Structure 1
Amino acid sequence: MAMDHVEALECTVCGETYDPDAPIYTCPNHDGVTGILEVVYDYDLIDERFDADLDGHIESQWKYEAFLPVDEEAEIVTLGEGGTDLFEAPNLSAELGVETLVKDDGRNPTGCLKDRATSVAVTKAVHADQDVLTCASTGNAAASLAGYAARAGLEARIFVPEDAPAGKLAQPLVYGADVLAVEGSYDEAYDLSVAVTEAYGWYNRNAAINPFQVEGKRTVGHELAEQLHVRGEMADWVAFSMGDGCTIAGAWKGLKEFADLGYVEDTPKLLGVQATGAAAIHDAFHDLPEGEPVAETLADSIAVGRPRNTVKAVRALKESEGTAVRVSDQEILEAEVLLGSTEGIYTEPAGGTALAGVKAAIADGPIEPDETVVVVSTGFGLKDTESARRATGEVTRIEPSIEEVNALYRE
């Protein structure tokens, strides 16, 4: 079989299994979004096929093709996603008081980590002779899907909430997608994208329900495992912001795979960070009472009131012996500026969320001063300049005169 390393799709709730080639998104034994599917692999076959010489040279995520759920005869649709740098961050480390590294996934082709998932999705869509791709998005997934659809010569029809940042919507329009602004929340846009998938048969890229999307995201875990291995020491913590929960779940799966296969010696603990106004996964992890679905945060990439991958995300946090924290929008903005001003890395608010969570976990525990932390920046800051303006204020305006400069800087 051309995809014989993929054994099944397994329901995370009831354990029912399905043919990985079946046209299915969620387990039909459950209503709504609870029946999320997990891709199950034959790791003996993967181990035979993967070159485990971890040298730190990663041109793209397709170095890990042996792990990815694509047919060996499929034509890979790629823009060079993955292979992003893991930066030493001495200035940030001095500011925080712990050794800190930054994995900058804002350097992906469309400026966000989601490109890892989209490359896999569009590759599978092309191989399945699909013509139209769809998803719901607050902006990043829209841009990512539109870019890769253009690369593949397919149509993209994308549903976004009406308050999605204008800067993020410019991208999919440039890529030629149909961008449909839904008069409502992200969750309403999401529900509509699922409805049109059922009505029209379009291929749905939503990472929340498409089980193969998380599999692309897990390459960030493979890369971190390899990069930290080459560096000579596994980090104690890796911090991710959380929205739907699929990114942190995918990253953990990749990290754990490399440890289980013996390629690296250990795994880090995960720190999952959510905004206080959209904290459903945090609340589930800490067994807090379930409230009304709320998504009120300026970090639009993680503004999700009803996360679809809560089960996977909570499981990842628990298996890694990690934890979840909440941070305010003000803390997110401050962290965005902190990362930029110390290390020259411009992150969007979702990336600032991860750093804000690290600051909180240092102040209140559990991160200790002798530990090493990786902050994952999931998106490039130019996607949301309005939030950056809120964080920094306006430019200083002066007359074209040296006296004006003297007034500012001469002692």
Structure 2
Amino acid sequence: MTMDHVETLECTLCEAEYDPDQVMYTCPEHEGVAGILEVIYDYDAINDAFDADVDGVIDSQWKYEAFLPVHDDAEVVTLGEGGTDLFDAPHLSDALGVETLVKDDGRNPTGCFKDRASSIAVTKAKRAGRDVVTCASTGNAAASLAGYAARGGLDCRIFVPGDAPEGKLAQPLVYGADVLAVEGSYDEAYDLSVDVTDAYGWYNRNAAINPFQVEGKRTVGHELAEQSAVRGEVPDWIAFSMGDGCTTAGAWKGFREFHELGYVDDTPKMLGVQAEGASAIHDAFHEHGDADEVAETVADSIAVGRPRNTVKACRALEESDGTAVLVDDEAILDAETLLGRTEGIYAEPAGAAAVAGVRQAVAEGVIDRDETVVVNSTGFGLKDTAGAQRATEGVTPIDPRIEEVSALYGGPDPATEGAE
């Protein structure tokens, strides 16, 4: 019944500390959701509990249970999330002009990276005795939370912007969630979900304010560190797309922890990639001033005008000696088809944005051509087929005659074949 390896929750702004055993989202000393909390650990306790067999065999993220902020009597709610493959990508490397590997988190149970956090959310909600879980989402977190809520036997109520992709909304509906389409932006849906949490006492999964959600996401850093150790080389860069900033922050924290504990010899630089139409974290990192709160990009999963985890994301970029780059929607769609045709990996636009970011960083000289990069594809392409349709030329209609095929590809003339 203990969680002794978790020392405290600490405000990222004022460093006030709070009891990690309570359900708490942000520091009350700050208005709104500004006072984001950080989970602080006792790493001696973690090191004693973790079987540091860094062998590359990762069945799920729960290999790292010693690192996760759950009580030892908690009923873990899992669908086998994590343990995703790290692929060599020789054809993509040739196209980008830099050695590239792909960590394909679109292979998680509900098809996206967010499963790493949702498993923690539902586990924590059940332990806290909550019957209803909620979040705001452009689609992926909605589907993810709904799937894990179903697995854990909890009710799920989701708030999405009215223009969220239909394909993504079908998934949480199948999982039995109530999906409430808010006539407004993601940020308005987010604000409503926070108000509802306060009013009804539902457990909120929103990764930017629930301090334990980033901790699930950081398992990708643990996995990348372990997979790098087995390969014998830590990559120079790891690239993630950024919406609220939670994923970049979590991945850096996880990799850094393995380095500080001596499991790997070095750490990578983080490359945060944002769409030009949703550039708030990039602008904050490069001190460009206040960003436009309206987010417009084909990569709906990162269409966030007011990211809540900017502080953690910028800190990850700074601590890792990394940086942030911007890419336009055309570059994102080009990257989606590039990843598909070179390596057979089908990513939704937000997942492909990281590929576009690497291409941009190489062109700008940020990434040297003799360096190594890991790209994380955060979501499966079937999440957003409309984006894929925009990125490709579509099907080619033909009549059922072999002459039609010959007209396209050349070859023998059916009229003369066998005439001799």
Q: Provide TM-score, normalisation by structure 2.
A: 0.97
- 2:354 corresponds in structure 1 to 354
Task: Give the match's secondary structure for 1:274.
Answer: strand
- 1:143 corresponds in structure 2 to 143
Consecutive unaligned residues of structure 2, counting only runs of 5 or more, are 412-420
Task: Give the match's secondary structure for 2:32.
Answer: coil
Counterparts of residues 181-196 of structure 1 (less than 5 Å): 181-196=181-196
| Distance in structure 2 (CA, Å) of the matches to 1:294 and 1:220 | 30
For 1:339, the aligned partner's letter is: L
| Distance in structure 1 (CA, Å) of the matches to 2:216 and 2:83 | 13
- 1:111 corresponds in structure 2 to 111
- 2:54 corresponds in structure 1 to 54
**What displacement does 1:21 show?**
1.1
- 1:30 corresponds in structure 2 to 30
| Distance in structure 2 (CA, Å) of the matches to 1:27 and 1:349 | 34
| Distance in structure 1 (CA, Å) of the matches to 2:351 and 2:299 | 9
| Distance in structure 2 (CA, Å) of the matches to 1:88 and 1:345 | 12
- 1:245 corresponds in structure 2 to 245
Identity score, percent = 76
User: Where has structure 1 moved over 4 Å in runs of 4 or more?
Assistant: none
Note if 1:305 corresponds to 2:305.
yes
- 1:96 corresponds in structure 2 to 96
**What displacement does 1:266 show?**
0.4
- 1:234 corresponds in structure 2 to 234
- 1:273 corresponds in structure 2 to 273
For 2:334, the aligned partner's letter is: E
Which shows bigger deviation, 288-297 or 25-34? 288-297
For 2:175, the aligned partner's letter is: Y
| Distance in structure 2 (CA, Å) of the matches to 1:125 and 1:359 | 40
- 2:405 corresponds in structure 1 to 405
Counterparts of residues 195-274 of structure 1 (less than 5 Å): 195-274=195-274
Which shows bigger deviation, 215-224 or 18-27? 18-27
For 1:383, the aligned partner's letter is: K
| Distance in structure 2 (CA, Å) of the matches to 1:23 and 1:75 | 17
| Distance in structure 2 (CA, Å) of the matches to 1:293 and 1:203 | 27
Note if 1:342 corresponds to 2:342.
yes
| Distance in structure 2 (CA, Å) of the matches to 1:167 and 1:126 | 29
| Distance in structure 2 (CA, Å) of the matches to 1:194 and 1:379 | 25
**What displacement does 1:34 show?**
1.1
| Distance in structure 2 (CA, Å) of the matches to 1:165 and 1:291 | 25
Q: Is the 8 A contact 2:279 2:291 kept in 1?
A: no
Counterparts of residues 68-83 of structure 1 (less than 5 Å): 68-83=68-83
| Distance in structure 1 (CA, Å) of the matches to 2:22 and 2:128 | 11
| Distance in structure 2 (CA, Å) of the matches to 1:397 and 1:153 | 47
**What displacement does 1:356 show?**
0.3
| Distance in structure 2 (CA, Å) of the matches to 1:270 and 1:291 | 22
Task: Give the match's secondary structure for 1:123.
Answer: helix
For 2:223, the aligned partner's letter is: E
| Distance in structure 1 (CA, Å) of the matches to 2:85 and 2:291 | 39
**What displacement does 1:128 show?**
1.1
For 2:400, the aligned partner's letter is: P
Task: Give the match's secondary structure for 2:77.
Answer: coil
For 1:327, the aligned partner's letter is: V
| Distance in structure 1 (CA, Å) of the matches to 2:349 and 2:21 | 37
Counterparts of residues 126-165 of structure 1 (less than 5 Å): 126-165=126-165
- 2:415 corresponds in structure 1 to none
CA deviations on 1:354-388 (whole Å, 9 max, x unpaired) are 00000000001210010000000000000000000
**What displacement does 1:291 show?**
3.2
Counterparts of residues 173-188 of structure 1 (less than 5 Å): 173-188=173-188
| Distance in structure 1 (CA, Å) of the matches to 2:23 and 2:261 | 30
Task: Give the match's secondary structure for 1:315.
Answer: helix
Note if 1:65 corresponds to 2:60.
no
Consecutive unaligned residues of structure 1, counting only runs of 5 or more, are none
| Distance in structure 1 (CA, Å) of the matches to 2:278 and 2:33 | 18
**What displacement does 1:132 show?**
0.4
| Distance in structure 1 (CA, Å) of the matches to 2:405 and 2:353 | 36
- 2:365 corresponds in structure 1 to 365
Note if 1:379 corresponds to 2:376.
no
For 2:399, the aligned partner's letter is: E
**What displacement does 1:209 show?**
0.3
CA deviations on 1:179-226 (whole Å, 9 max, x unpaired) are 000000000000000011000000000001000000000000000000
Which has more radius of gyration? Answer: 2
**What displacement does 1:292 show?**
2.9
Q: Is the 8 A contact 2:280 2:292 kept in 1?
A: no
Q: Provide TM-score, normalisation by structure 1.
A: 0.99
**What displacement does 1:71 show?**
0.5
| Distance in structure 1 (CA, Å) of the matches to 2:337 and 2:243 | 21
| Distance in structure 2 (CA, Å) of the matches to 1:22 and 1:50 | 25
**What displacement does 1:23 show?**
2.3
Task: Give the match's secondary structure for 2:10.
Answer: strand
| Distance in structure 1 (CA, Å) of the matches to 2:183 and 2:369 | 47
Equivalenced residues, count: 411
**What displacement does 1:294 show?**
2.2
